[in-house]
Amino acid sequence: MTPTGPVRAWFADVAPAHGSLPPRAHLDTDAASMTLDGEWAFRLLPRVPRHGGNGFEAPGFDDSAWDLVRVPHCWQLEGVPGLPRYSGPAYTNVVYPFPIDPPDVPDENPVGEYRRRMDLPDAPDGGRWLVRFEGVDSAYEVYINGTRVGGAMGSRLTHEFDVTEYVVPRGNVLAVRVLQWSAGSYLEDQDMWWLSGIFRSASLLNRPAGGIDEVFVHADFDAAAHTGRLLVEAPPGAVVRLPELGIEVPANESLVVSDVEPWSAEVPRLYRGTVSTGAETVDLAVGFRTISIDDATLLANGVPLRLRGVNRHEWHPKAGRTLDEATMRADIELMKRHNVNAVRTSHYPPDARFLRLCDEYGLWVLDECDLETHGFERIGWRLNPSSEPVWREALLDRMRRTVERDKNHPCVIGWSLGNESGRGANLEAMAAWTRSRDPDRFIHYEGDWDSAYVDVYSRMYADHAETELIGRGEEPPTSDPQHDRRRRALPFILCEYAHAMGTGPGGLAEYADLFEAYPRLAGGFVWEWIDHGILQRAASGAYEGEEFFAYGGDFGEEVHDGNFVADGLLFPDRTASPGLAELAKAYEPLRIEPSRDGVTVTSLFGHRTTSGIDFRWRIEDDGEPVASGPLAVPDLGPGEAIRVPFPGRTGAPVAAAGPGGPQRWVTVSAHLAVDEPWAAAGHELAWGQARLDDHGEPPRGRARPAGDSRAVVQTDGGWELGPGRFDAFGTLVELSGLAVRGPRLDLWRAPTDNDERGDAPPSADWRALGLDRLRHRTVSVTSEDRALSVVAHVMPAGVDVGYEVEYRWHAHDGALRLDVFGSPLGSWAVPVPRLGVRMGIPSQLDAVAWVGLGPGEAYPDVSLAAREGRFASDVASLQTPRLRPQENGARRGVRKAELTGGGSRLTVSGECFILTVRPWTTEALDAAAHPTDLVPDPRWLWMNLDDEQHGIGTGACGPIELPRYRLEAKRFRLSVALSAEAG
Ligand code: GAL
């Protein structure tokens, strides 16, 4: 007997043709159409019905017991947070959540069945009817009135089905069966949640006879002649009109247009017009621009391109990958306000509306195909669809759908073949097809470093040193001399860099310097825009019922990659993380460098002058305003620089405040003079600061005590010195009647994601050494020379490594002065997380004001955004609520901090220290999985005063901190004065 098995189902067939129409552009047309978004009947089945289905498609099928869901949606996010209505979401980065057994997928394959009724809208001229789906994950078949019209794969690609033959004017039943897994899933291994359903819009489109099914707009700009070249491909007989340019010409004729203004991300000049036949009019938004490559430099309109970019996944904490237009606008406006000028649509074409908005607002877009096969890396790239001939058509189909849909957008400057899909002839075929279809844009793919068939050399996470070598054209050769020669002539893009996971990203400043220094470096795209956290509610504990953002593993997935899904510049609710402020500074379009008598302004724009930008100066003494005014800066052309003296009589920066007095700083800033679509007039684009009273580093020694010093008095339980009471171990327990604990030496920080991950995470060394469980032993407490000197050894169990620390106390004028001298004990093979002290202070002191750098957190290699001034915050707002709690919230360069509340006050002053105040201990922070695990200590706030912290880097998925930010175990000294009033 011949064994029989299941016939290979259509959704495990890699061939792309399942009945959808060839791809074409999304056109803005006056032909009749109707949205199919809205309520659909829905049910979820655990597996695909076998043997001819289940009849769900029949018009008379009774779906009255089904649920109603809103399309677009993904079914895993239906229900209320914490109580998914159907199955839950799952997150993996590289690993497939199903066996690698291509092209088949498991029998357990959840199926969402959808039904809705529809009437045809009025379409006087008859014509054909198409049903369009813009995004369905992962495979689906479409039935109209009981007849199967086709199926499709390619989750983030548009598919249209011709339903003309099957529709009637009224009462049609549209039924769609969506499968969670399909052959297509092997091509969609992007680092994101696995979510399913009709998650983008669906519509019914009329195609009038004699209408315009397809348009291809070519609009170049000749920078030398200042002319445009226009060619609109459309059906013969169609007429193109661009009234602003006086153009009315037949389609398919190329013409040169004089006096045209180019499109750029900086000045997104669009010319609105139409292309029409008697039967249909399509709106055009034409942007003239030319992308070219010359001498290994990427050019836009003849000017070197500097991509100050971000990678953008589509994400919403409640709706998943379903975005409404308001959210898209919010993303773009936030990007523009933070000086971002480019987006890589990682790792699939975005919702079509996003590109239309990018045309309007101005962003350079690298449009990426919906392709990633990263999971094959785990089996040595065996069976990889990028190289297996059987997958060739499927990959080509994905590329065609990407290019055809998006080809008319001036914002799209390059096509990316996909992400992390290894190497292979199918990628090469995608490149060849793309080049023949659209030679006017560059082709990008990162995964094949030979770069033989692409137009830019692209890498992800190359470190600064390697990026600099590439900038100089001195990178190590690739194995094939021919490829090497070709690659050296290509511009370079960091398609991902500065992995923004957790606290950080460190090292942006140094990348920005490199991009500016080397024309071959066309810039890059930070990884990534937004954390993909899912809004949930805490099931128990102190915060029961309160919202938090879930990450991988929170839904009980059997394989998952934890919080690696949370690596964005925005939190899931689109509030900015400190990393976004850092990015805004690194991406400033103007360099502003003030000094004592004036300021140098350098324009980093490539396509506009500085007209429309106002400059202002202000002087502050320790953050207190002294003087301010407008600053006249002549218009600068792209790349120009000018030195402007400060205005004479308003006498900007003059007298120094003098030694011991406040620090005097001048700030010069650049602002929008008029409203822009993305920001109101007054919005700050760039700023620079300089210290006026002293240009050297502040002296860092022991400050000279002021006033009369007080003697140490030994008491029954310990010591007294001025306002301070110390226990028998020499630990400060009270200051002017205010109960305190410590300060004591602290070397530990709750590891950041960058400390925790990567090949050799320092946190593993720190925990192995025991820095998270230090023991303190008081060696001696002595009173000498009106000082109390306490010496201690601070070491973990089981090793002879740690620190010897002397706390030397003096009392003057009602304050205590503390000098901490630390020196390493034993032989340290690892960097130190921090060098400083930790102190418990009463929890009512929860209003913090400080003079130094602010307003946001800063670390040694993440401190671009911090500026000199005077700042205030409550303790809760000093915390950065990252999805996985970790070291955060440090304020650097602090000279004075005042903590007040409940009538009490504690003042800390020093020459330059790092201040961190939190309502829980570092240990609690380290142990928490989500912010809802962190319960404020009712009695104490925990305050760290540090001399320095270890750098942050981007080791979670990129280079670690640069060597100069590594904090070695070394001698250090920290000097502060403490005074208090108890309420
Ligand atoms: C890259 C990948 C991204 C993301 C990132 C880490 O390798 O292309 O999709 O996984 O690493 O967050």
Is the beta carbon of 189 within 6 A of some atom in ligand 1?
A: no
| Active-site entry in 372, 496, 528, 720 | 496
In ligand 1, the atom with minimum distance to the C-alpha of 564 is 12
Q: What is the pLDDT of residue 626?
A: 96
Query: pLDDT value at position 709?
Result: 79
Q: From start to end of 605-723, where are the E strands?
A: 613-621, 624-631, 641-645, 664-672, 684-691, 712-714, 718-721
pLDDT recorded at residue 710: 85
**Does domain 293-531 fall into CATH 3.20.20.80?**
yes
Q: How far apart are CA 795 and CA 748, in angstroms?
A: 12
Asked whether 173 and 35 are in contact (CB, 8 A), the reply is: no
Residues forming beta bridges with residue 625, ordered by sequence position = 620
Q: Is 419 in the pocket of ligand 1 (CB under 6 A)?
A: yes
Vertex 615 angle, CA 609 and 617, to 5°: 155
Residue 857 is encoded by which pair of tokens?
């957190």
**460 CB less than 6 Å from ligand 1?**
yes
**What is residue 125's predicted lDDT score, i.e. its pLDDT?**
75
Helix (H) or strand (E) holding 397: helix 392-406
| Whole-number pLDDT of residue 699 | 44
Those residues with Cβ within 8 angstroms of residue 976's Cβ, 6 or more apart along the chain or in another chain: 817, 818, 908, 909, 910, 913, 945
CB of 331 shorter than 6 A to ligand 1: no
Q: Which CATH class is domain 588-691?
A: mainly beta
Tell me, in angstroms, the distance from the centre of ligand 1 to residue 22's CA: 31
Burial 71-94 (b: 16+ CB within 10 A, else e): bbbbbbbbeebeebebeebbbbbe
Residue whose CA lies nearest to ligand 1 atom number 6: 957
Distance from CA of residue 295 to its chain's centroid?
31
The sign of the CA dihedral 34, 36, 41, 46 is positive
CB 25 within 8 A of CB 400: no
Q: How far is the CA of 568 from the centre of ligand 1 (A)?
A: 11
- Rounded distance from Cα 12 to ligand 1 centre (Å): 27
Decide which of 3.60.21.10, 3.30.70.260, 2.60.120.10, 2.60.120.260 is the CATH code for 10-207: 2.60.120.260
CB under 8 Å to 405, separation ≥6 — which residues? 23, 24, 25, 26, 157, 158, 349, 352
Quick one: which of 324, 261, 251, 264 has its CA closest to 291?
264
- Sign for the CA dihedral angle at 897, 914, 571, 604 comes to positive
Contact criterion met (CB below 8 Å) for 721 and 809: yes
> What's the pLDDT at 83?
83
Minimum-distance ligand 1 atom for the alpha carbon of 420: 8
What is the fold of 712-981?
Beta-galactosidase; Chain A, domain 5 (2.70.98)
Q: Calculate how far, in angstroms, residue 191's C-alpha sits from the geometric centre of ligand 1.
A: 6
Contact in structure between 161 and 20 (CB atoms under 8 Å): yes
Ligand 1 center to 94 CA (angstroms): 9
With a 6 A CB cut-off, is 420 part of the ligand 1 pocket? yes
CA 437 – ligand 1 centroid, Å: 29
C-beta 957 within 6 A of ligand 1: yes
Distance, CA 93 to ligand 1 centroid (Å)?
8
Binding site membership of 445 for ligand 1 (Cβ less than 6 Å): no
Q: Is the CB of 191 under 6 A from ligand 1?
A: yes
Residues 19/150, Cβ–Cβ less than 8 Å = yes
For 561-571, how does the pLDDT look when each residue is reduced to its tens digit (9 = 90+)?
Answer: 999 999 999 99
Report the pLDDT value the prediction gives residue 659, as an integer from 0 to 100. 64
User: How far apart are the CA of 311 and the centre of ligand 1, in A?
Assistant: 10
In which element (H, E) is residue 20 found? Answer: none
Q: Which atom of ligand 1 is nearest to the CA of 567?
A: 12
Residue among 273, 59, 257 at smallest CA distance from 174: 59
Phi-psi region of 636 (alpha: psi -120 to 50; beta: other; left: phi over 0): beta
Atom nearest to 419 CA in ligand 1 = 8
| Position 101, amino acid | D
User: 900 in ligand 1 pocket by Cβ < 6 Å?
Assistant: no
Q: Which of 648, 647, 641, 660 is nearest to 602 (CA)?
A: 641
Domains 216-288 and 588-691 share a fold: yes
Residue 823 corresponds to which tokens in the numbers above? Answer: 């020196």
Atom 3 of ligand 1, nearest CA residue: 191
| Count of other CB atoms within 10 angstroms of residue 734 | 16
Nearest CA to 873 out of 838, 905, 898 is that of 898
The answer to whether 420 is a known catalytic residue is: yes
Minimum-distance ligand 1 atom for the alpha carbon of 528: 12
Q: Which position among 420, 475, 588, 961 bears the catalytic label? A: 420
Q: Which residue, judged by its Cα, is nearest atom 10 of ligand 1? A: 191
Q: What is the mean pLDDT of each run of 10 residues along the chain (983 residues)?
A: 60 90 98 98 94 90 98 95 88 98 96 98 89 98 97 98 97 98 98 98 98 98 97 98 98 97 98 98 98 98 98 98 98 98 99 98 99 98 98 98 98 98 98 98 97 98 98 96 97 98 98 98 98 96 95 97 98 98 98 96 98 97 97 98 82 54 95 98 98 61 57 94 97 98 98 92 97 98 93 98 98 96 97 98 98 98 98 98 98 98 98 97 98 97 98 97 98 98 94
Which residue's entry shows tokens 């396509």?
607
Ligand 1 nearest atom to the CA of residue 190, by list position = 9
Atom 11 in ligand 1: which residue has the minimum CA distance?
Answer: 957
Sign of the four-CA dihedral 769, 773, 774, 775 = negative
CB 344 within 8 A of CB 366: yes
* Ligand 1 closest atom vs CA 501: 12
For the chain, the structural domain boundaries read 10-207, 216-288, 293-531, 588-691, 712-981
CA dist 900 and 898 (Å) reads 6
Residue type, 672: L
CATH H-level, domain 216-288: superfamily: Immunoglobulins (2.60.40.10)
The number of residues making up the chain comes to: 983
